[in-house]
């Protein structure tokens, strides 16, 4: 899909994409902005060396959609728990060794699918953005676990 089709996607303004530091501060964020997305950059809000478990709760509180290249985020318990507890929607770019412009092109191509995925899937989740621009679910919190986590503690 083209950037033009993204700009005509309803509710596009309802999502702000938070670009993790592993995708850089310039090329990827600017390409997403040029495609019509609202974008926030990690280093504009958090120290460069901040641990994921420290900033993920704030990303969730603000309702931002995480975009990262961190393929291991779903396997590290502290980060996964922070992401789930904060209700974060996360997209992991599944590329290796590509340049910033190549990653930007893939994300711009995937943007309409990412928006539709957010509309169709309640948070929290971790989804993959494939080199083709496709989007697929990697991890979703089970309903049972979600109910347990949200149940009031006595």
How many angstroms separate the CA atoms of 147 and 151, rounded? 6
- pLDDT tens digits, one per residue of 55-75: 999 999 999 999 999 888 888
Asked whether residue 149 carries a pLDDT value surpassing 70, the answer given is: no
Other CB atoms within a 10 A radius of the CB of residue 143 amount to 9
1: confidence class by pLDDT, cuts 50, 70, 90: very low
The correct CATH number of 15-147 out of 2.40.50, 3.30.460, 3.30.70, 3.40.50 is 3.40.50
144: confidence class by pLDDT, cuts 50, 70, 90: low
Which of 105-109, 120-124, 126-130, 147-151 is the least confident region? 147-151
118: confidence class by pLDDT, cuts 50, 70, 90: very high
pLDDT at 12: 44
Asked whether residue 129 carries a pLDDT value surpassing 80, the answer given is: yes
């Amino acid at each position: 899909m083209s950037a033009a089709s993204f700009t005509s996607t309803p509710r596009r303004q309802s999502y702000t994409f938070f670009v993790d530091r592993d995708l850089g501060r310039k090329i990827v964020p600017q390409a997403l902005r040029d495609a019509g997305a609202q974008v926030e950059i990690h280093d504009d809000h958090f120290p460069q060396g901040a641990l994921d478990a420290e900033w993920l709760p704030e990303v969730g509180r603000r309702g931002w959609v995480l975009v990262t290249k961190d393929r291991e985020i779903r396997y590290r318990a502290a980060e996964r728990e922070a992401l789930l507890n904060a209700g974060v929607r996360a997209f992991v770019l599944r590329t290796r060794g590509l340049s910033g412009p190549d990653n930007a092109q893939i994300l711009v191509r995937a943007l309409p699918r990412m928006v539709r995925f957010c509309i169709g899937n309640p948070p929290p989740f971790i989804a993959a953005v494939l080199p083709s621009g496709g989007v697929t679910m990697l991890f979703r919190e089970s309903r049972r676990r979600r109910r347990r986590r949200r149940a009031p503690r006595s």
